[in-house]
């Protein structure tokens, strides 16, 4: 008798008993900041659509143009017949914008991260990861044949201590649950000559750096491998690994998530290319975020749980999971949609509201959030 049913039931019961069960909630998304659920309206402080492009009408038009030009799906994996001029154009735009000679496209950031680590690592390699790296990176590292060690969060000295020859060091540019930025200059200096650096800039691309080129551009560091994702500031989905010519050739031959997976729809590749143009030319979106950070710091700065960041990700630390869920639910009564982030996504005792700002928010919405939080945290 297979043990699957028993195991599934036991895991679900355990998760519910811990108060950590999550729920899929269908919502209707307005302009990023408006969210509708079961007849009520909310201000959404939980999306990764940092620049407000997910609902941008010009970007929708670009996607429609892509459909008119290239049809619906790609119909095959890239090496078969799934690769089109739209994909080639997107690769070229990414390379030009970010200063790399190759871009290898994937359907998601999760796939890109797994492809990168599974594709590159062998048995005698050392993989060093920031201990707060995303699940896609940590999981791939654990399953890869390399030896994986985690260095203390943002601690380049600890990293230097662990380094040996043939090391791949992986960090996020902006940490997804904390909103802080990696010390990329120190990390790059520590690695110099000993290994390669890979930066997953899912949350920095579009938001930081000149014309939104991301965390590495902001730090003046060029890692050997840069993962950029299109599901956050780009308002779409998909991802690319940026690298040199030879590594790109290698990944497109050997990285299984590229070789054995249907290519993203060409219309989507066309839309991502349009998003790059908007991100690079519409500085006002980043300027708007800067204004909102100022409003946020001023309004929430004194509250217990507040954490200062220079990115759109603003963790508000509560501590215990049940308290965090109650706080998020109670904020819904005030028309504010926030998601409680609990272990195992964050360490035990550090459950939080992951507040995110987008260029579509208004100072009034932040003031409303501050008042609601203050009355609940202090009242
Ligand atoms: C740091 C980081 N990397 C990778 C991913 C995965 O990207 P995608 O959502 O495109 O699969 C995420 C998604 O949340 C992330 O936060």
77-108 residue pLDDT tens: 999 999 999 999 999 999 999 999 999 999 99
Same domain as 160, residue 114: yes
109 Cβ closer than 6 Å to some ligand 1 atom: yes
φ, ψ (nearest 5 deg) of residue 4? -60, -50
**Residue 263 · residue 78 · CB < 8 Å:** yes
More confident residue, 1 or 320: 320
More confident residue, 125 or 2: 125
Rounded to whole angstroms, the Cα distance separating 2 from 7 reads 10
Last residue of a domain, one of 240, 261, 281: 281
Ligand 1 binding pocket mutation candidate from 48, 140, 176, 235 (most atoms within 8 A of CB): 176
Same domain as 210, residue 125: yes
Dihedral sign computed on CA atoms, order 265, 83, 217, 120: positive
How close is the Cα of 315 to the center of ligand 1, in Å?
A: 17
Positions marked active-site: 48, 134, 172, 176, 200, 203, 232
The confidence score (pLDDT) of residue 53 equals 97
Same domain as 297, residue 217: no
Same domain as 247, residue 338: no
Domain for residue 167, yes or no?
yes
What is residue 187's three-state secondary structure? helix
Residue 30, pLDDT > 80, answer no
pLDDT tens per residue across span 138-178: 999 999 999 999 999 999 999 999 999 889 999 999 999 99
Rounded to whole angstroms, the Cα distance separating 115 from 120 reads 8
More confident residue, 379 or 127: 127
**Residue 136 · residue 165 · CB < 8 Å:** no
The confidence score (pLDDT) of residue 85 equals 97
Provide the domain limits for residue 156.
57-281
**CATH number of domain containing 296:** 3.90.1150.10
pLDDT category of residue 27 using cuts at 50, 70 and 90: confident
Last residue of a domain, one of 221, 252, 281: 281
Rounded to whole angstroms, the Cα distance separating 60 from 84 reads 20
How close is the Cα of 289 to the center of ligand 1, in Å?
A: 21
Same domain as 245, residue 296: no
Residue 32, pLDDT > 80, answer no
């Amino acid at each position: 008798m297979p043990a699957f049913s028993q195991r599934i039931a036991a895991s679900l019961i355990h998760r519910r008993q811990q108060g950590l069960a999550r729920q899929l909630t269908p919502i209707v998304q307005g302009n990023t900041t408006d969210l509708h659920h079961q007849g009520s309206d909310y201000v959404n402080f939980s999306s990764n659509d940092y620049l407000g492009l997910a609902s941008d009408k010009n970007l929708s038009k670009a996607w429609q143009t892509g459909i008119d030009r290239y049809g619906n799906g790609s119909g095959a994996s890239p090496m078969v017949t799934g690769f089109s001029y739209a994909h080639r154009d997107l690769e070229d735009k990414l390379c030009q914008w970010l200063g790399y000679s190759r871009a290898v496209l994937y359907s998601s950031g999760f796939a890109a991260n797994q492809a990168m680590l599974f594709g590159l690592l062998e048995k005698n390699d050392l993989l060093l990861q920031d201990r707060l790296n995303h699940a896609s990176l940590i999981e791939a590292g654990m399953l890869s044949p390399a030896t994986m060690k985690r260095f203390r969060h943002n601690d380049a000295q600890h990293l230097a201590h662990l380094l040996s020859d043939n090391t791949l060091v992986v960090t996020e540019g902006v940490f997804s649950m904390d909103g802080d930025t990696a010390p990329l200059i120190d990390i790059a200096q520590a690695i110099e000559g000993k290994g390669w650096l890979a930066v997953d800039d899912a949350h920095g691309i579009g938001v930081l750096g000149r014309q939104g080129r991301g965390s590495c551009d902001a730090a003046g560091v060029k890692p050997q491998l840069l993962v950029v994702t299109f599901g956050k500031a780009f308002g779409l989905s998909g991802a690319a690994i940026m690298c040199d010519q030879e590594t790109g050739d290698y990944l497109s031959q050997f990285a299984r998530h590229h070789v054995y997976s249907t290519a993203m729809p060409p219309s989507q590749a066309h839309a991502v290319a349009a998003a790059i143009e908007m991100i690079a030319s519409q500085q006002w979106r980043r300027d708007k975020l800067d204004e909102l950070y100022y409003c946020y710091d001023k309004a929430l700065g004194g509250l217990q749980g507040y954490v200062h960041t220079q990115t759109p990700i603003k963790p508000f630390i509560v501590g215990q999971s049940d308290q965090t869920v109650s706080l998020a639910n109670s904020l819904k009564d005030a028309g504010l949609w926030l998601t409680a982030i609990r272990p195992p996504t964050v360490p035990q005792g550090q459950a939080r509201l992951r507040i995110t700002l987008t260029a579509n928010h208004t100072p009034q919405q932040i003031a409303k959030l501050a008042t609601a939080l203050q009355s609940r945290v202090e009242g």
